[in-house]
Structure 1
Amino acid sequence: MDLGEQGILLPAPLRVFDCSANEVISFKFVRSEKDLENDEIDFAPEFTHQIFGENERIFGYKDLAIDIYCLSSSLNFYLNIEFAEKINPKKYQQFKADDIVQALNEWLPSTTTTNLDQFLSKLKTEQEYGTFGEQILTYELKGEKSTSYLIHRVNENFCDDQKFLEWYTRLETFLVFFIDAASRIDKEDRNWIIYLLYQKYQNENSQTCYAPIGYITVYLYYAYPDKKRPRISQVLILPPYQRKGHGRRLLTAIYNDLRKDSRVQDITAEDPSDEFVALRDLVSLELCHKYLPDLFSKEPMLKTPRLTKEMVVKAQDVCKLTRQETRRVHEMCFLQAINKSDDEQMKRFRLLVKQRLFEPLQFDKRRRLQLADPALEALATDPEKRKKYLATQYEYVIEHYQNIIRAFNKYQDRI
C-alpha cells in the first residue's frame, strides 16, 4: 500500500493521487530549442526528502509531471507542472493536494520562470556567461571531438563578486536533488574556496560557451600553530557527466593545487559518502604512486610491508594525505604488490587490515574512556561478535580495494 505524507495508509481510490517525487521530476539542460524534444538528455533527481518530506512523495495529483529545464551556461531555470486531475478536497475532506510550487521555491532560484518563451529568449545571451575564477587545468576525454574541459578555482574573495554570487546561487539549486542532507554555503565566509568544472562547447551559432558540469567546495580550517587544513565539503558532478572520470580529474586537480601551498597541513573531508571515499582512495593511490614511488611502489612495499613513519610524514608533506588515508593507501599498495595466491602474503595483508579495523574497538584504559557507540562497546567485550564483525568488514575492505585497483589500472592504461 502507498503511504501518504500524512502517515496514513491511503484508501484505494486515492492511490492514483500519490506518486514518488523522484519519478515525476525530470531535469533537462538546454543549449538550443532542439533540446526540448530530446528525451534522451533528461535526468531524474536522486533525493527529494528535503523538499517533499522523508517519504519523498507528492500527494494530490493524478499523472503528475514536473519538468525543470536549465540553460547550460547561465543556469536560468524554467518550471512546468502538468497533471490530469487535482484532488477535490470537498469530495475527500480529509485530504488536500501538496503545494508543489511552494515546496520547490525553497530551492529554485527566484528568477525561475514558468513562461517557456521567456526562458528560451535567454538562449541568445548564453555566450555572455564566461568562466569564473582562475584556470588551473584543461583536459580532453578520449573519443570526444571538439570538446574540452576546464577546472577553475574561485578564491575566498568571491563574496565581493555579485555576478558570480547570483550565478553560483543558481548552481547550488542542484545540491538538494543530488546530495543527501545538502545545505548552501555561507557566501560571506571568506574561508570557502570553490573549484568549478566547465565543459567548453560551441552553440548553434558557432559561439564558444561554457557549461558548469560539476564543482567541489573546500573550507579552509585553521591548524595550530600556523597551518591550514582544507576540508572538502560538497562534491557534485551533474548526472549527465558522471561515470566519465570527471570526478577523478577534479579531485586530483584540487589536491595538486593545494599541495603547492606549504601552509596546507593535510586535506580532510566532511562526512564523506561511500562514493566519495572510493574516489578519494583512487586519487590518493595515484598521488602516492606518482610522487612517492620510492615508498609506495611494489619493490619497497615488499621490502618493508609495514606502515612506516616516513610514509606517513612524506604522504602528508607531499600529497597532503591524512595519516588514516595514508594507512589505507599503504594497504592498497601492499595488496597490489603481493602474490594473491600466496597464503602467507595474504595473511599478512589480512592482519594489516584487521589491526586497523580493531583499533576503534579497544577500550582506552589510560584515560578510562568507554566507546561512544553501544554497538561497538559490545564488539569490544564479546570476542565472538568481534571476530565475526572483523571478518565481515575485512571482506568489504578487500572488495573495495580490488575495485579501486581495477580503476587505477584502467586509468594507467589510458596514459
Structure 2
Amino acid sequence: MTSVDAKQAISFVFHNTSGIGPQTPSFHPTYTHYFFGDNETINDVNSSEIVIHIKDDTFETMIEGITKPASESSIDPVDTIISSLSPCTFAPFKDTPRGWTPPGNLVLQYNPPMSFAGNRSPISSSSEDTTVVYEIYHESLANHRMRLYHHQLQIMPFFFIDTASFIDPCSRDSVEKDTSTPDTQWEIFIIFQKTTRREITHYSIVGYTTVYRFFRFPDNYRFRISQFLIFEPYHRQGHGTFLLASVYKKALSSGVIDTTLELQSPDFKIMRTVTDIMLLSKLGVLTSKPIPFAKPSDPVETAYSLPSILPFSPDLLESAQKIVPLSTNQLKHCYNIIRMICLPGDAKSEEEFRKDIKRHLLRTHEEELVGLAQEERISKLSLLYQMTLAEYKLVLASFKKHMDLLSCESFGSF
C-alpha cells in the first residue's frame, strides 16, 4: 500500500488581508496521529497536499487539498480532518469588519528585544509611519465573543500538542446561537501583534493559552495551564515568556495563589522554568537582592557581586507565592537552580549544595529508592543527582540566552 508522510503533506498558511503587518511563512504540524494513527501516514494515496488557510486576525479557517488516490477505495484525507475536527467549521473567508479588535481585555503590552529574531525573519518593528506592539488579551469562556473566537482556535492543539482534546466540544451553531452552556472556569489568554500604519490597525495572532480556575479551600483559587501554543512563525522570539508572565499577572490580581500544569513537554518545561527564574531573579524574591547578570554585549571582565540565597522556609515560600504565584514544587525547583547560581565557589558551599540536593532527591524519589540495597541505592541516587545537575545546567544555558528580556519594562511589571 502506498502512503505519504502526513506531517509533510499538511501545511498551515496565515493570511493577512489588510496590507499592513506580517506575512508569515507557511509551516507544518508537529503531530497528525489524531487523524491518521500512530504511524502518521496518509494511506492508500500516491500523493497528497493539504493546506489549512487561516485569517491571522479573525481566525476564520479554510481547508483545501489535492490528493491522488492509489485505489477507488481511498479515503480523502481532507474529509478525515474535517470529520475529526467537528465541532469546528471550515468555510470561505469573509471580509474583516472595519475597526475589528480582539476579544477580551488587554492585560499586557510589550515589545521583545530585536535580538530574539535569531535566524528567523526579523521581529516586526516600528518605522517612521508604522508602529508595532504585542498585546495579550484575557477573558473567560463566559464571554460570548471570546468563546466564539476560541471555538475555532481549537483546531490547532490537535496538530501541535500530543494529547490534545476539545475544551468546548459544543457545535459551532450552538455556540453562535448561545444555546449551549460553556464551562465558565476556563479562561483564555491570546497574544496579538498589533500593527498600525497611519490610521489603519491590523491584529495578527501569535499564540494563546487556556487556563482552568480551580477553587482552593478555604478562599483562594489555583490556575492550571492546559494548552499553551506559540505558532511556529513566532517561535524563539520571547513570546512564550511574556504569555506565561501575563498568566501570573492575572493570577495575582484575581485571588489565585499558585499555578500548575496539566502536562508539559521538555521544551515547555525549560521555557517555564527559565521564565520563573527570570521573574524571581529580577524581583529578588529568593535572594538578598535582585540577581545581576552579564549580557552578551558586556565586556568579559565585567564583574558582578552575587547576592546570597535566603534560607528556604514556609515563610519564604508564602512570601514568594504572593509575588510570583508558583506551586510549592516549582518554587523549590527554581530555588535550587538560583542557589546554584549564587554559590560563592568554595568547596564547602558546593559540598553543602550537593548534599542538600541529594536529600531533596531522597524525599522526592523515596518510593523507588526505599526497597533497594544500600549499594544500589547509592548508585541510583548518584545517577539522579547527575541527571538533576544536567537539567539545571540546561535551564541556565537557556536562561543566559534570554537575559535581554530582563531589560523590558513590561516583563515582571506585576
TM-score above 0.5: yes
Q: Which residue is 1:193 aligned to?
A: 187
Residue 26, structure 1, aligned to residue 11, structure 2:
yes
Instruction: Assess if the C-alpha contact under 8 Å between 1:148 and 1:201 holds in 2.
Output: yes
SS in 1 for 2:264: coil
Q: Which residue is 2:354 aligned to?
A: 350
Pairwise mapping of residues 221-236 of structure 1 onto structure 2 (< 5 A)?
Answer: 221-236=214-229
Residue 360, structure 1, aligned to residue 364, structure 2:
yes
Q: Which residue is 2:148 aligned to?
A: 166
Q: Which residue is 1:253 aligned to?
A: 246
- Return the letter of the residue paired with 1:216: T
Distance 1:228 1:180 in 2: 28
- Return the letter of the residue paired with 1:136: V
- Return the letter of the residue paired with 1:344: K
Distance 1:183 1:260 in 2: 29
Q: Calculate the aligned-residue CA RMSD, in Å.
A: 2.9
Residue 148, structure 1, aligned to residue 139, structure 2:
no
Instruction: Assess if the C-alpha contact under 8 Å between 2:45 and 2:71 holds in 1.
Output: no
Distance 1:316 1:383 in 2: 38
Distance 2:282 2:213 in 1: 26
Distance 1:332 1:294 in 2: 11
Q: Which residue is 1:394 aligned to?
A: 385
Q: Which residue is 1:75 aligned to?
A: 59
Instruction: Tell me how far 1:245 sits from its aligned partner.
Output: 0.4
More divergent stretch after superposition (276-285 vs 403-412) = 403-412
More divergent stretch after superposition (307-316 vs 288-297) = 288-297
Q: Which residue is 1:405 aligned to?
A: 396
Q: Which residue is 2:412 aligned to?
A: none
Distance 1:99 1:296, change over 3 A: farther
In our comparison, the structure showing a higher alpha carbon Rg is 1
SS in 1 for 2:332: helix
Distance 2:111 2:19 in 1: 26
Instruction: Tell me how far 1:128 sits from its aligned partner.
Output: 5.0
Instruction: Tell me how far 1:103 sits from its aligned partner.
Output: 1.9
Question: Deviation digits for residues 239-274 of structure 1, max 9, x if unmatched?
Answer: 11111100001101211221133x322111112222
Distance 2:32 2:286 in 1: 48
Instruction: Assess if the C-alpha contact under 8 Å between 2:136 and 2:192 holds in 1.
Output: yes
Question: Deviation digits for residues 156-183 of structure 1, max 9, x if unmatched?
Answer: 522xx1x433322111111100111111
Distance 2:75 2:400 in 1: 50
SS in 2 for 1:345: helix
Structure 2 gaps of 5+ residues are 115-123, 127-131, 169-180, 292-304, 408-414
SS in 1 for 2:256: coil
Instruction: Assess if the C-alpha contact under 8 Å between 1:259 and 1:320 holds in 2.
Output: yes
Distance 1:97 1:358, change over 3 A: farther
Distance 2:166 2:351 in 1: 46
- Return the letter of the residue paired with 2:224: R
SS in 1 for 2:229: strand
Instruction: Tell me how far 1:109 sits from its aligned partner.
Output: 6.5
More divergent stretch after superposition (23-32 vs 384-393) = 384-393
Q: Which residue is 1:86 aligned to?
A: 69
Q: Which has the larger share of helix? A: 1
SS in 2 for 1:233: strand
Instruction: Tell me how far 1:295 sits from its aligned partner.
Output: 3.3
Distance 2:49 2:331 in 1: 48
Distance 1:300 1:141 in 2: 26
Structure 1 gaps of 5+ residues are 1-13, 90-95, 363-370
Q: Which residue is 1:4 aligned to?
A: none
- Return the letter of the residue paired with 1:74: T
With a CA cutoff of 8 Å and minimum separation of 6, indicate the structure with the bigger relative contact order: 2
Instruction: Tell me how far 1:228 sits from its aligned partner.
Output: 0.9
Instruction: Assess if the C-alpha contact under 8 Å between 1:282 and 1:407 holds in 2.
Output: yes
